[in-house]
Amino acid sequence: MVDTVKNKYGSIDYLINAAGVNIHGQFSKLDERDWDEVIDINLKGVFLCCKAVWPIMTQQKESQILTISSASGLNSYPTGTIYCASKAGLNSFMDALTLEASEVGIKVTNICPGQIDTPMWNLNDGEVNNARKYMLSADSIASLVDYVLTRPWNEQFKNLTLFPYEIKGSMQLLLRSKNRGPGGKFPTSQENN
For residue 8, what are the CA distances in angstroms to 2, 4, 12, 157?
10, 6, 10, 29
Q: What residues are labeled active site?
A: 83
The pLDDT tens digits along the chain (193 residues) read 999 999 999 999 999 999 888 888 889 999 999 999 999 999 999 999 999 999 999 999 899 999 999 999 998 888 889 999 999 999 999 999 999 999 999 999 999 998 888 877 777 778 878 888 888 999 999 999 999 999 999 999 999 999 887 766 556 656 666 666 666 676 555 444 4
pLDDT for residue 25 = 85
Cβ neighbours of residue 170 under 8 Å, at least 6 residues apart? none
The residue segments making up the domain with residue 76 are 13-184
* Cβ-contact 62, 14 below 8 angstroms: no
In a domain, 2, yes or no: no
In a domain, 192, yes or no: no
CATH number at residue 147: 3.40.50.720
In a domain, 189, yes or no: no
Q: How many domains does the chain have?
A: 1
pLDDT for residue 192 = 42
For residue 15, what are the CA distances in angstroms to 4, 23, 85?
14, 25, 23
In a domain, 6, yes or no: no
Q: How far is CA 104 from the centre of its chain?
A: 24
In a domain, 1, yes or no: no
In a domain, 193, yes or no: no
* Cβ-contact 80, 25 below 8 angstroms: no
Contacts of 53-57 spanning 24+ positions with Cβ under 8 A: 53/2, 53/12, 53/15, 56/2, 56/6, 56/11, 56/12, 57/12, 57/15, 57/104, 57/105, 57/106
* Cβ-contact 190, 33 below 8 angstroms: no
In a domain, 145, yes or no: yes
Cα gap 66→43, rounded to integer Å:
14
Residue 141: how many CA atoms within 13 Å on its side-chain side? Answer: 25
pLDDT for residue 124 = 77
In a domain, 109, yes or no: yes
Secondary element (H or E) of residue 5: helix 2-9
